[in-house]
Structure 1
Amino acid sequence: MKLLVVEDEKKLLENVAAFLERKGFLVDTAQDAEDGLDLALERNYDCIILDVILPGMGGYEFCRFLREEIGSDVPIIIITALGEIDSRIEGLKIGADDYLPKPFDLRELEARVRALIRRNQLRSEPVIRYGPLTYDSRSGVFSCSKKELSLTSRESSILELFLRNPGTVFSREEITDKIWETGFESRSNIVDVYIRYIRRKLEAAGILDIIQTVPRKGYGLRRLRDDG
């Protein structure tokens, strides 16, 4: 998942970017709205973290331009030192999806980013198909040939992660960070155990070799063959 952080305070920008990268995100940064807009127009982001007070164009103008001129629906979190309720309301009125007043806990920022991305994915991709596998995010059901697969909540979360990021190989640490609760200390083989469970259930449904193991890297979906 790819993020853009636009913040003119260099130390805060570096801290936020470093933290989110440790959590498995790909992060681009900008210290003013103009550079941030250039990046937002060139690349596709899963979420934008945007300061309100910026040199030159402010965060409100940045947000308004993306929404009204470009028609972008990328999730936007406004971070601001402004404590007045009117300032927060203004950000939401012009199209921001959430706000976080400074100072903030980086763990809360991560949680809000993940919640917004998840909400946006559910809205834009209610049904995902990958070869013989189908996932309906509205019901949380995985199926093969219209037959529902019986997966636990954790198994479903891991498989959904793979489905929403085809071609991405996740390390065991990245899977643990994304699927388990913050602060969870996993056993070294917990991810391997769940992958085995998922594979057995997929194989029982006739879905073979869809999850690949990449030595010394981790797990991900095997690329589908193009038979055309």
Structure 2
Amino acid sequence: MTSSSPLHILVIEDNPDLAANVCDFLEAKGHAVDVAGDGLTGLHLAVTQNYDAIVLDIVLPGMDGLTLCRKFREEAMRTTPVLMLTARDALDDRVAGLECGADDYVLKPFALRELEARLKALVRRASSAVTPSVLRVGDLEYDPALIRVRRGTRTITLPPIPLKLLETLMRAAPRVVRREELERAVWGDAPPDSDALRAHLHVVRAAIDGAGEPPLIHTLRGVGYRMMAPDAL
């Protein structure tokens, strides 16, 4: 799919004015848009139709966006990119959305042009070919061809953006990767707000280093991040 290809997008948003504005803008850009005003209807459409991307609000009647996203990923086993909308600016809320399976988020209020650009970027990443070589750091293994991450006997599931950050760190290991380099690897020349990288890295750390194993991801404050096996320290 090219950057100019029209997308089929599901917008799950209970604010009718905001939903109408998003729908009108995206349709004017040539995209096909379906709208659901509550979580139950949104989940039904998400699992019964084939969308290129989903725009999902967190606060919804019937079923909140976090629960919807978790069910969509874990029960329906769907991999459609999900862009979460939230008025909440707390880091914990953003991390919760990413841990439930959202691929990215935007904070309200947002520019409609940015929303479309984020959706295109998510779809482009989801459809792009991956490099098939298996990456290893210590007991952590990532097979891009199978999109499979394992640490020891654990199989780890990550959304696309944390997965891209993990791949970038593993390919660079044990070199230090500067913050700007990580942002460029994921978002190109248009990085989002300053907390986005931190939120996604929190998801990576919780998945990779959160089960009691020696940490593999290390922060060099004011410099960047490094992935290194414990026996290499």
Taking structure 2 as the reference length, the TM-score comes to: 0.52
Residue aligned with 1:70, SS: coil
Decide whether aligned partners of structure 1 residues 11 and 120 sit closer, same or farther in structure 2, where only a CA change above 3 A counts. Answer: same
One-letter amino acid of the structure 2 residue matched with residue 107 of structure 1: R
* Superposition RMSD in Å: 1.3
Q: Which runs of 4+ in 1 moved over 4 A?
A: none
Q: Distance in 2 between matches of 1:98 and 1:50?
A: 10
Corresponding residue for 1:56? 62
Q: Deviation of residue 55 (structure 1)?
A: 0.8
Q: Distance in 1 between matches of 2:30 and 2:58?
A: 26
Question: 1:32-181 residue pairs with structure 2 within 5 A?
Answer: 32-123=38-129
Corresponding residue for 2:25? 19
Corresponding residue for 1:148? none
Determine which structure has more spread, i.e. the larger CA radius of gyration: 1
| Structure 2 unaligned regions, length at least 5 | 1-6, 133-233
Question: 1:196-211 residue pairs with structure 2 within 5 A?
Answer: none
What are the Cα deviations for residues 161-201 of structure 1, in whole angstroms up to 9, with x where unaligned?
xxxxxxxxxxxxxxxxxxxxxxxxxxxxxxxxxxxxxxxxx
Q: Is 1:5 matched up with 2:38? A: no
Residue aligned with 1:5, SS: strand
What are the Cα deviations for residues 75-110 of structure 1, in whole angstroms up to 9, with x where unaligned?
000000111010001101111000001000000000
Q: Distance in 2 between matches of 1:55 and 1:123?
A: 37
Identical pairs, percent: 50
Q: Distance in 1 between matches of 2:22 and 2:82?
A: 15
One-letter amino acid of the structure 2 residue matched with residue 114 of structure 1: K
Q: Deviation of residue 123 (structure 1)?
A: 4.3
Q: Distance in 1 between matches of 2:48 and 2:63?
A: 18
Q: Deviation of residue 42 (structure 1)?
A: 1.6
Decide whether aligned partners of structure 1 residues 64 and 24 sit closer, same or farther in structure 2, where only a CA change above 3 A counts. Answer: same
What are the Cα deviations for residues 36-83 of structure 1, in whole angstroms up to 9, with x where unaligned?
111112210000000000012100000000000011000000000111
Native 8 Å contact 2:47 2:78 kept in 1: no
Taking structure 1 as the reference length, the TM-score comes to: 0.53
Aligned residues: 125
Q: Distance in 2 between matches of 1:6 and 1:38?
A: 11
